[in-house]
């Protein structure tokens, strides 16, 4: 088990390194830097001015060197003023006290850089936003996973039955509805003062506020409640739910045709116990991996939903960073996303082994 | 189990492996069972025969030692009574009758065998008894009574109470029938916990006892294990233990040993028989193997295409069958008397009818030699009792008109194939695999010695059989010969060319086309998305046999002729062919380039017995015509004895014995060969077998034992002084006439070996 | 000003149904013929035995035909603005003398006809999604077959790369890959050069291994492939097709490449898995013992037998690609501002969503329907292909 873990961790570290480099390279492409220069300086800079701005801010050195600095394995760049003292540098601009001059100030030192969009240290911004997204994700999981498993197990338990057909159709319909469609539908149905349920309810005097649910979740950051948080949570959860439910159903129907299920049935085990004791654990092995690998996908959903509901979380930040060419913030967000995905892969591997006694690890 | 030199065992006549056993029954018409029929009841045949003889008079049909079961109801009422049962499966297009008008009775303590080819409905009967036919299956007529109660009218909860406690079932695939994610102990304990409301602790204690009962070592470890941690034989013992946890009155065994190796199978069969006797359980034993039925059952029911065609006691049916299908079945399996030249097998002509294409009248009509138009194809044929026999019925309208002792009509003896020069010679060939560990962990990995020092040669026109069980390295040998792998060391000479280091990509077209292979699994041997003709033509293209498209097409049609398939099959897709037909196409493809050496890897083992005979025959015919060298890889010694000229026995990568067929099938044996011979069930009541049951399972090739590879299971080991078996690799010993055996036993010990088979001692009557 | 009355719901729907008459006609013909000859049409024919599959197929066919006949169906120019129709409710009359008298699904924030934009949007989506899925398939197959069949370091390296791509959240990849700045660097063209070359290599290998014993025939086929292939390749990758048949505007190429790039690793994994399963079959061993080349075994022995699951997944993948295209549109990535594709229409509509939901709702429902159809179709195909 330990060697397995070590191997997986090594693979993950290698992936993280490669991926962060790719992100770094892509965000630091010349046109992106030019855009950054113009964004920071003025939009009408000449090419020469752009060059000198980039040089003055340390962007003119080789990509690998800058990647090393960003990582924190190479000393941060410095620029000397006319008097020979260090006036500018990667590690200086961001340090609160100019007297303390760390040589290294990269990600490994916990310094994520400076956000040009929000004018604040990237680390701080991300911490806040991640907390907000964490809350959203938590509720999504709470809603999505149990309902998806239940749906899948109920449908897969008796293949071809009416329950199966109905539940499968529900699952297919929900996987066919991406977040940006689901969000639109939910808002139109439940959060519009013009259409859907709200005007009707209002007419009947059942509703005081103009709308039933809120279509804007900005307020949910500080104080999430049923009325402002339901729609974003449902938007993310419903799309993923269909997918997991379908996986669970497929896995469940396969398990239910296995010989050992027949053995159990012919041993006289009541149907409920056949499902609970014999089928479930085997049937959940496959969906477990799926749920875990859902994370990159969930992240998409979160980005879309946060934008749609103006919920300032991680995804919203990512979009802002990308839209405003905030390189350091985009880079940091990417790293967080990639690490999150890789970590879930690791968890899914471990969980798979734990659930499946057939796999033995040296 | 039994000491091979047990002085109390009967000492029958020396048995000549090519001895022509007569098909005629050697017993008189009386119901008294001959001693040979005591076969396989107990561990000791002499006592067995004694017991049988002394008590036969009182209880004619049922085996005396099973007739007084404990707690299986009162003696006369049947445990299970199936009457005119009909089962159909319903698809969107049509109703498919799977079982029709099927009746059988199982008395307390009795073992009834249900035999037939695949698709005959025998497993459906078992599921029908359990009332577990799935969503599409339904009982459309007749009744199943268990201890007098109609199972069809029971509620789900009543059924549940009976399943697992009163009726238990054992399946073909032991691995598949155990829950992979549940410990063995829990799976066993579940049974009494459900049915007797036992506490978990007591249930586990009981499970421990039953596990010991099925002769598994270290029960505590086994109870804690997950199924995948056990070997196939151990898993099947667990499945049996699970069935016995509640001491059922009826045990249904559905091909319980088909997935296991022969020597392991022998152990399981032995166990089942003993337990049956100990617990007094009635059994319904489903199998395609007549030999197994003979060893385990009292009564037999032969099924064909959804119907029972003949039922009766094992003796009646085996020795005085009264249905043409039963007779044809017996004539198509290689019994000890058959011989490829003088007494060839008689395949059943035609094909098994598809369920919705069954003929009017007798289902067997189109394939029956005694078919009479206007008699057999008019109405449904009823089951008729055979006068004079006890509960012996047959579904043949002409059974009293047929001359049952007449020899088969079309049994043409052929010349022996002349054996020519050496075509293929192997010298000291070794194949080691390096099993590397994963990408990131250290260590050197392991070496698997798949083949150790193989030497033999094969001549043109000769059939060399390579015999062994799983893990013996026979498939690796085939791969090395074909060039899919290269040998680690040693020499392989094809004519005068050494090919051991030439992988297939580097071999010339000539070499490639002269060494070809016929594969085991007919359902896998053809590419499902290419027409039959196209696949043969492709082989012709690659071998450069013909130049133009037209020539190739012509040649392809000739190849179809060669394997006796209609030319129209060229256009068919593989899924439209039956297993035997696919196997024929595979043979045609192998001979596309005029192969000189054909490696046949278990070419018939996946086919039904009647088809087996035809395909075997075809291989022999082609060999005769072309003087091909046939390397016949098999685990089935009956087939090997029938067609091989020489035999090579392998165990864990070593050749342990090599010699002519006569030499290998007669003493002196290598101890492993001896056990293997004894393990093969033989469907002939006149043949007596010495029983040698090996302990344990075949060791893994990854981790072979030190010294002699066979030492972990060898019953002769203690006769070799000084622990040599455990420490030294035995040398290859030359016996008389080119016969070689790899064993430490002394010449005296070899001389003392007695034959495994013998003719039944008729004198005892 | 004869038509100043707004239409009711019933009339609106009726008029829409009438407007798409070419679609109904096409569907009737195709369904009639298919059902008539379903026993001769293999897996496609068997689709008509499954209710689910048939419903799915009907929905997909509907949208395909809408895309095909889009120019016949639209009531207004999807870019034309009629000032008074800004955010007009569905069924509102335009009040103009000429042209279709109503905005059947209302007007959007720029006073354009939502119905016509939705119809044209179908064309946008169905122009790219299947083609992108196809190229992703070619790439996935081309890499998955050797990874599964040869194993060893082929597998290690390719799987590592595939996992790398899969570890990227899709949206992040889009934000990084689909930008005007990236288009300036020429990275999309470089990627297109590689990705579009792969199908050509695949076909060349298929031809070569199939006719290896008949050089004349092989060379003929290879020559045909070379001419057609290089023509298309030059047009798509370098925009250098002299006839102008094959071309893609840079932003479309960018979108296309990104979508292929995101899909290919998943296809790779599926193909690799199936290959590892099939390579143990005896017919593969039979081909090996005849001395067939690896390419022949992979492309002619393994690939045709993997088609069942691949066809099913292909349908799902078109659906997924549709969703991805919608996502790109939703974030305004790689699309021109006035493009009528569904994603960007939803994006534009969402700003006024609570007040005027119809502008976003129409494309949202259309997209959902198409994807649902594809998923149902895949389900039906899976069910039927398992039935043999
Ligand atoms: S009834 Fe006729 S066809 Fe059938 S087995 Fe008897 S003789 Fe043969
Ligand atoms: S060498 Fe010893 S263990 Fe091996 S077969 Fe001979 S007697 Fe048995």
Helix, strand or coil, per DSSP, at residue B339: strand
Six-digit token pair at A63? Answer: 């990509």
pLDDT the model gives residue B302: 92
* Per-residue model confidence (pLDDT) at position C70: 84
Q: Tell if the CB–CB gap between B517 and C286 is shorter than 8 Å.
A: yes
Angle CA B7–B11–B13, to nearest 5 = 160
The answer to whether the CB of B267 falls within 8 A of the CB of B694 is yes
- Residues 6 or more apart whose CB falls under 8 angstroms from that of B377 comprise B359, B360, B361, B362, B365, B371
CA C362 vs CA A205, C116, C121: distances in Å: 29, 11, 11
β-pair type (B111-115, B299-304): parallel
Q: Is the pLDDT of residue B56 over 60?
A: no
* CA max distance for chain B: 78
**Residue B490: what pLDDT?**
86
Ligand 2 centre from B4 Cα, in Å?
14
Q: Smallest Cβ distance to C282: which of B484, B505, B521?
A: B521
Note the pLDDT tens digit of each residue in B1-51: 334 433 333 333 333 333 333 333 333 333 333 333 333 333 333 333 333
Average pLDDT of the residues in C133-155? 90
Q: Which residue in chain C is spatially nearest to B548 when comparing CA positions?
A: C214
CA angle B611, B613, B618 (to 5 degrees): 100
Question: What integer pLDDT is reported at residue B762 of this predicted model?
Answer: 47
> Tell me, what's the pLDDT at A101?
61
Residue C130 exposure: Cα atoms within 13 Å on the Cβ side:
13
- pLDDT per residue over B272-296, tens digit each? 888 888 888 899 999 988 888 988 8
Whether residue C114 lies within 8 A of chain A, CB to CB, comes out as: no
Using a CB–CB cutoff of 8 Å, tell me whether B194 touches chain A.
Answer: yes
Of 3.40.50.800, 3.30.360.10, 3.40.50.300, 3.30.420.40, which CATH number belongs to B422-648?
A: 3.40.50.300
A255 touches C: beta carbon within 8 Å: no
The torsion angles phi and psi of B97, rounded to 5 degrees, stand at -70, 125
Highest mean pLDDT: which range of B17-21, B72-76, C223-227, C236-240: C223-227
Is C364 in CB contact (< 8 Å) with chain A?
Answer: yes
Residue predicted with more confidence, B357 or B60? B357
CA angle B671, B265, B312 (to 5 degrees): 120
User: Chain B within 8 Å of C98 (Cβ-Cβ)?
Assistant: no
**Is B730 near ligand 2, meaning CB less than 6 Å away?**
yes
What's the gap between Cα B580 and its chain centre?
Answer: 17
Given a contact cutoff of 8 angstroms between Cβ atoms, the answer to whether B170 and B239 are in contact is yes
- Nearest to B195, CA basis, from A266, A208, A309: A266
B7 compared with B174, residue with greater pLDDT: B174
Lowest mean pLDDT among B224-238, C14-28, C98-112, C372-386: C98-112
Higher-pLDDT residue of A324 and B113 is B113
Q: Is the pLDDT of residue C303 over 60?
A: yes
pLDDT of residue C268: 92
C-alpha A40: how far from its chain's center?
29
Residue A354 touches partner B, C-beta closer than 8 Å? no
Query: Can you tell me the distance from the alpha carbon of C140 to that of A318, in angstroms, rounded to the nearest whole number?
Result: 30
* pLDDT tens by residue, B78-90: 889 998 999 998 8
B385-389, Cβ contacts within 8 angstroms, sequence gap of 24 or more: B386/B312, B386/B316, B386/B322, B388/B29, B389/B31, B389/B312, B389/B313, B389/B316, B389/B320
The alpha carbon dihedral of B190, B191, B192, B193 has a sign of positive
For chain A, helix, strand, coil in percent to 5 are 70, 5, 25
Subunit contact A315:C171, Cβ cutoff 8 A: yes
Cis peptide before B216 (omega within 30 of 0): no
Distance from C-alpha of B286 to C-alpha of B298, rounded to nearest angstrom: 13
| Highest mean predicted confidence (pLDDT) among A61-65, B501-505, B589-593 | B589-593
Q: What is the pLDDT of residue B608?
A: 83
How far apart are the C-alpha atoms of A231 and A182, rounded to whole Å? 9
Find the range with the poorest average confidence among B627-641, B656-670, B681-695, C121-135: B681-695
Ligand 1 atom with least separation from CA of B375: 2
Query: So what's the pLDDT on residue B342?
Result: 75
Closest Cα in chain C, distance from residue B180 (Å): 21
B745 lines ligand 2 (CB under 6 A): yes
Q: Residue B683: its pLDDT value, please?
A: 84
Tell me if B527 and C304 make a contact (CB, 8 A cut-off). Answer: yes
CB contact under 8 A, B242 and A6: no
Q: What is the pLDDT of residues A153-202, one digit of tens each?
A: 999 888 878 888 889 889 999 888 888 888 888 888 887 777 777 777 77
Confidence of residue B409 (pLDDT cuts 50, 70, 90): low
* Out of A178, A188, A322, closest to residue C357 by CB: A188
Residue B765 pLDDT grade (very low, low, confident, very high; cuts 50, 70, 90) = very low
Same fold, B35-299 and B422-648: yes
Closest CA to B290 of B275, B301, B274, B304: B301
Ligand 2 centroid, distance to C172 Cα (angstroms) = 67
Give the per-residue pLDDT at B647.
92
- 3-class SS of residue A55: helix
Which sequence spans correspond to the domains of chain B?
Answer: 35-299, 422-648, 655-763
Average pLDDT over residues A277-281: 86
Instruction: Tell me how far apart the alpha carbons of residues B754 and B677 are, in angstroms, rounded to a whole number.
Output: 12
By CA distance, what is C170's nearest residue in A?
A300
Specify the ligand 1 atom closest to the Cα of B381: 1
Report the interhelical angle of A226-256 vs A122-157 (nearest 10°).
50
Chain A hits for C374, Cβ within 8 Å: 176
CB atoms within 10 A of CB C16: 18
What confidence score (pLDDT) does residue C163 get?
83
Report the residue of A303, A315, A345, A349 to disrupt the C interface, i.e. the one with the largest count of C CBs within 10 Å.
A303
* Domain B35-299 class in CATH: alpha beta
Q: Which residue has the tokens 């993950």?
A: A12
Q: Please say if the pLDDT value at position B324 is more than 80.
A: yes
**Closest A-chain CA to B181:** A357
C245-254, pLDDT tens digit by residue? 777 788 888 8
Name which of B457, B455, B428, B486 is nearest B645 in CA terms: B457
Residues near A36 by Cβ (< 8 Å), separated by ≥ 6? Answer: A59, A116, A325, A327
Task: State residue B312 phi and psi, 5-degree precision.
Answer: 165, -175
- The string of DSSP codes covering B195-243 is HS---HHHHHHHHHHHHHHTT-S-HHHHHHS-GGGS-HHHHHHHHHHHH
**pLDDT tens sequence across B104-126:** 889 888 899 999 888 788 888 98
The 10 Å CB-count burial string (b at 16+, else e) for B142-172 is bebbbbeeebeebeeeebbebbbbbbbbbbb
Question: Which residue, A344, A115, A156, is CA-closest to A252?
Answer: A156
B83: Cβ–Cβ under 8 A, 6 or more apart, which residues?
Answer: B103, B142, B143, B144, B145
DSSP assignment of B599-646 equals EEESTTTTS-HHHHHHHHHHHHHHHHHHT-EEEEEES-HHHHHHH-SE
Q: What is the mean pLDDT of residues A52-70?
A: 80
Q: Which residues of A82-106 are buried (b: 16+ CB within 10 A; e: fewer)?
A: eeeeeeebbbbebbeeeeeebebbb
Q: Which chains border A (3 or more CB–CB pairs < 8 Å)?
A: B, C
| Interval B532-537 mean pLDDT | 91
Q: What is the 3-state secondary structure (H, E, C) of A132-170?
A: HHHHHHHHHHHHHHHHHHHHHHHHHHCCCCHHHHHHHHH
- Helix, strand, or coil here: A105? coil
Q: Which residue has the higher pLDDT, A1 or C160?
A: C160
């Amino acid at each position: 088990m330990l060697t397995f873990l070590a191997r997986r961790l090594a693979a993950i570290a290698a992936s993280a390194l490669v991926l962060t480099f790719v992100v770094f390279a892509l965000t630091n492409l010349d046109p992106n830097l030019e855009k950054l220069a113009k964004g920071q300086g003025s939009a009408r800079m000449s090419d020469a001015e752009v060059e000198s701005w980039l040089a003055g801010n340390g962007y003119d050195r080789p990509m690998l060197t800058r990647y090393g600095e960003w990582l924190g394995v190479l000393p941060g760049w410095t620029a000397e003023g006319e008097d020979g003292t260090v006036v500018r540098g990667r590690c200086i601009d961001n340090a609160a006290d100019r007297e303390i001059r760390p040589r290294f100030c990269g990600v490994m030192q916990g310094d994520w850089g400076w956000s040009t969009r929000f004018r604040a240290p990237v680390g701080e911004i991300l911490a806040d936003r991640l907390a907000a997204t964490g809350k959203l994700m938590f509720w999504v999981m709470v809603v999505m996973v149990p309902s998806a498993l239940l749906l899948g197990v109920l449908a897969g338990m008796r293949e071809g039955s009416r329950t199966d057909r109905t539940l499968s159709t529900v699952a297919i319909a929900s996987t066919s509805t991406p977040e940006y469609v689901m969000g639109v539908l939910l808002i139109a149905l439940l959060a519009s003062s013009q259409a859907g349920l709200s005007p009707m309810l209002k007419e009947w005097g059942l509703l005081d506020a103009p709308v039933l649910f809120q279509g804007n979740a900005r307020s949910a950051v500080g104080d999430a409640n049923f009325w402002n948080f339901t729609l974003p949570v449902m938007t993310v959860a419903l799309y993923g739910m269909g997918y997991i439910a379908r996986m669970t159903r497929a896995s469940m129907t396969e398990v239910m045709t296995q010989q050992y299920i027949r053995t159990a049935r012919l041993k006289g085990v009541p149907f409920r116990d056949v499902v609970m004791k014999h089928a479930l654990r085997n049937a959940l092995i496959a969906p477990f991996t799926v749920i875990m690998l859902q994370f990159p996908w969930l992240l998409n959903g979160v980005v879309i939903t946060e934008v749609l509901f103006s919920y300032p979380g991680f995804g919203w930040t990512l979009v802002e960073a990308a839209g405003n060419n905030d390189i350091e913030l985009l880079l940091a967000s990417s790293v967080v996303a990639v690490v999150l995905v890789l970590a879930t892969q690791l968890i899914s591997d471990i969980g798979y082994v734990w659930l499946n006694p057939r796999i033995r690890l040296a | 189990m039994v000491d091979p030199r047990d002085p109390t065992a009967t000492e029958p006549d020396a048995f000549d492996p090519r001895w022509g056993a007569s098909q005629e029954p050697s017993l008189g018409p009386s119901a008294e069972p001959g001693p040979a029929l005591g076969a396989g009841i107990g561990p000791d045949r002499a006592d067995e025969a004694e017991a049988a003889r002394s008590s036969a008079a009182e209880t004619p049909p049922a085996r005396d030692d099973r007739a007084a079961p404990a707690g299986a109801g009162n003696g006369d009422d049947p445990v299970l009574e199936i009457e005119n049962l009909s089962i159909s499966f319903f698809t969107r297009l049509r109703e498919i009758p799977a079982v029709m008008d099927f009746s059988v009775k199982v008395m307390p303590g009795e073992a009834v065998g249900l035999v037939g080819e695949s698709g005959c409905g025998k497993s459906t009967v078992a599921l029908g008894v359990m009332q577990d036919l799935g969503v599409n299956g339904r009982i459309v007529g007749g009744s199943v009574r268990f201890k007098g109660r109609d199972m069809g009218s029971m509620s789900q909860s009543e059924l549940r109470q009976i399943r697992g406690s009163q009726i238990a079932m054992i399946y073909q695939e032991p691995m598949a029938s155990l829950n992979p994610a549940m410990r063995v102990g829990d799976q066993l304990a579940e049974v009494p916990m459900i049915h007797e409301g036992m506490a978990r602790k007591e249930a586990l204690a009981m499970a421990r006892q039953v596990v010991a009962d099925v002769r598994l070592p270290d029960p505590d470890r086994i109870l804690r294990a997950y199924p995948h941690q056990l070997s196939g034989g151990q898993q099947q013992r667990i499945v049996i233990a699970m069935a016995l946890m509640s001491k059922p009155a009826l045990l249904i065994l559905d091909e319980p040993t088909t997935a296991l190796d022969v020597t392991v199978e022998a152990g399981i069969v032995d166990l089942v028989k003993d337990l049956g006797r100990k617990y007094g359980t009635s059994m319904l034993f489903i199998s395609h193997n007549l030999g197994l039925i003979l060893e385990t059952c009292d009564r037999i029911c032969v099924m064909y295409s959804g119907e029972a065609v003949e039922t009766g006691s094992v003796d009646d049916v085996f020795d005085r069958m009264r249905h043409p299908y039963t007779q044809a079945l017996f004539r198509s399996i290689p019994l000890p008397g058959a011989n490829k030249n003088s007494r060839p097998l008689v395949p059943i002509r035609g094909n098994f009818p598809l369920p919705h294409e069954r003929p009017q009248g007798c289902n067997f009509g189109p394939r029956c030699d005694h078919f009479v138009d206007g008699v057999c194809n008019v109405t449904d044929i009823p089951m008729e009792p055979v006068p004079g026999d006890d509960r012996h019925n047959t579904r043949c309208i002409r059974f009293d008109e047929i001359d049952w002792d007449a020899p088969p009509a079309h049994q043409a003896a052929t010349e022996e194939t002349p054996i020519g020069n050496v075509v293929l010679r192997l010298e000291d060939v070794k194949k080691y695999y390096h099993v590397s560990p994963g990408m990131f962990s250290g260590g050197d990995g392991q070496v698997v010695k798949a083949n150790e020092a193989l030497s033999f040669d094969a001549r043109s026109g000769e059939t060399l059989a390579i015999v062994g069980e799983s893990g013996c390295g026979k498939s690796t040998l085939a791969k090395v010969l074909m060039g899919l792998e290269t040998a680690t060391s040693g020499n392989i000479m094809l004519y005068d060319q050494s090919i051991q280091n030439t992988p297939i990509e580097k071999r010339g077209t000539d070499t490639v086309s002269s060494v070809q292979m016929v594969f085991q699994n007919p359902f896998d041997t053809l590419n499902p998305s290419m027409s039959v003709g196209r696949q043969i033509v492709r082989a012709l293209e690659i071998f450069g046999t013909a130049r133009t498209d037209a020539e190739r097409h012509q040649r392809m049609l000739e190849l179809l002729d060669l394997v006796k398939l209609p030319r129209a099959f060229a256009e068919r897709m593989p899924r439209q062919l039956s297993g035997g037909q696919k196997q024929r196409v595979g043979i045609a493809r192998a001979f596309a380039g005029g192969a000189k050496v054909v490696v046949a890897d278990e070419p018939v083992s996946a086919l039904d017995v009647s088809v087996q005979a035809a395909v075997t025959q075809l291989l022999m015919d082609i060999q005769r015509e072309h003087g091909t060298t046939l390397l016949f890889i098999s685990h089935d010694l009956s087939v090997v004895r029938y067609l091989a000229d020489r035999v090579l026995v392998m165990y864990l990568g070593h050749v342990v014995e090599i010699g002519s067929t006569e030499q290998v099938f007669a003493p002196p044996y290598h101890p492993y060969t001896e056990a293997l011979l004894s393990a093969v069930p033989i469907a002939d009541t006149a043949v007596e077998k010495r029983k040698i049951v090996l302990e344990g399972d075949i060791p893994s090739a990854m981790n072979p034992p030190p010294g002699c590879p066979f030492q972990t299971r060898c019953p002769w080991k203690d006769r070799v002084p000084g622990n040599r078996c455990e420490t030294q690799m035995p040398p290859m010993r030359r016996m008389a006439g080119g016969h070689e055996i790899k064993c430490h036993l002394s010449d005296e010990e070899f001389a003392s070996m007695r034959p495994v088979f013998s003719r039944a001692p008729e004198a005892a009557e | 000003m004869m038509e100043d009355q707004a239409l009711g719901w019933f009339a609106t729907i009726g008029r829409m149904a009438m407007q798409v008459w070419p679609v109904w006609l096409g569907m009737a013909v195709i369904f009639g013929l298919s059902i008539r000859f379903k026993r001769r049409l293999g897996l496609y024919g068997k689709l008509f035995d499954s209710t689910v599959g048939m419903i799915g197929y009907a929905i997909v066919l509907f949208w395909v035909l809408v895309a095909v006949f889009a120019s016949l169906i639209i009531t207004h120019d999807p870019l034309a603005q009629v000032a008074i129709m800004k955010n007009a409710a569905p069924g509102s009359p335009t009040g103009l003398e000429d042209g279709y008298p109503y905005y059947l699904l209302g007007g959007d924030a720029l006073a354009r006809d939502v119905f016509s934009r939705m119809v044209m949007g179908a064309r946008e989506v169905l122009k790219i999604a299947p083609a992108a899925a196809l190229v992703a398939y070619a790439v996935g197959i081309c890499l998955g077959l050797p990874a599964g069949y040869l194993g060893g370091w082929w597998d290690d390296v390719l799987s590592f790369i595939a996992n790398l791509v899969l570890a990227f959240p899709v949206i992040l990849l889009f934000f990084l890959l689909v930008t005007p700045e990236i288009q300036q660097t020429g990275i999309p063209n470089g990627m297109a050069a590689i990705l579009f070359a792969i199908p050509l290599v695949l076909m060349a290998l298929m031809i070569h291994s199939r006719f290896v014993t008949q050089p004349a025939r092989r060379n003929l086929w290879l020559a045909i492939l070379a001419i057609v292939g290089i023509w298309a390749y030059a047009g798509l990758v370098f925009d250098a097709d002299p006839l102008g048949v094959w071309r893609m505007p840079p932003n479309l190429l960018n979108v296309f490449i990104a979508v292929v790039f995101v899909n290919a690793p998943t296809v790779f994994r599926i193909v690799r898995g199936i290959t590892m399963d099939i390579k143990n079959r005896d017919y593969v061993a039979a081909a090996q013992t005849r001395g067939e080349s690896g390419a022949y075994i992979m492309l002619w022995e393994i690939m045709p037998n993997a088609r069942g699951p691949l066809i099913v997944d292909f349908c799902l993948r078109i659906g997924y690609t549709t969703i991805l295209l919608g996502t790109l549109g939703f974030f305004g990535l790689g699309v021109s501002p006035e493009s009528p594709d569904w994603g960007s229409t939803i994006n534009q509509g969402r700003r006024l969503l609570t007040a005027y939901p119809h502008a976003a709702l129409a494309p949202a429902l259309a997209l959902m329907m198409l994807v649902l159809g594809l998923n149902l179709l895949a389900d039906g195909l899976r069910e039927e292909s398992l039935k043999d």
